[in-house]
Amino acid sequence: MPSSTSADLRIAVLIDAHDRSRFTCGVESLDRYLKTQAGQDVRRKANAVFVLSRDAEPDRVLGYYTLCAMAISRGDAPEAARKHLPRYPLVSCTLIGRLAVARDQQGQGLGSILLADALQRAFDSADTVGSSMVIVDALDEAAAGFYAAYGFARLPDSLRLVMPMRQAGRGTER
């Protein structure tokens, strides 16, 4: 079921009607994933893929993100977050695996809209599937900076960033 994000923007689960062939964000691996793999992942339930579009052009993909469940070693969590985690060897997490905005739409705040939606969906599902943190693996320093600006904590010597689920429920206010 689509959720309205503004007067004319919608975020919905990827369906066949979404035109993935025209999407380009400037990062080949993200473009290729949406065009060739995303549909299969949705059918196989390997990833949930959500797309941003406008009401006037519902088939045009302005941006997208993926969510999936994963687990990390408790020791991989930042020290400050460990006190809020269960004392199991592996900690359940939600991974924002990919997040991309079409090149001609960048700089308009759509990445922030996608991230806010991803965090809300992760938080809303945490009670059902059991998830203590949200994790992102940034592609580069610029992406890591984007996530850090919204409160993600960077793990040392890594492009992996984490956010406790309780913080994800508070939104993405900078």
Provide the annotated active-site residues.
Answer: 147
Question: Are 140 and 63 within 8 A, CB to CB?
Answer: no
Nearest to 96 by CA among 58, 61, 139: 139
What CA–CA distances, in Å, run from 87 to 36, 44, 70? 39, 31, 17
Place of tokens 């964000």: 25
Is residue 135 a contact partner of residue 85, using CB atoms and an 8 Å limit?
Answer: no
Encode burial over 76-94: b for 16+ CB neighbours within 10 A, e otherwise: bbeeebeeebeeeeebbbb
Between vectors from CA 118 to CA 138 and to CA 22, what angle results, nearest 5°? 75
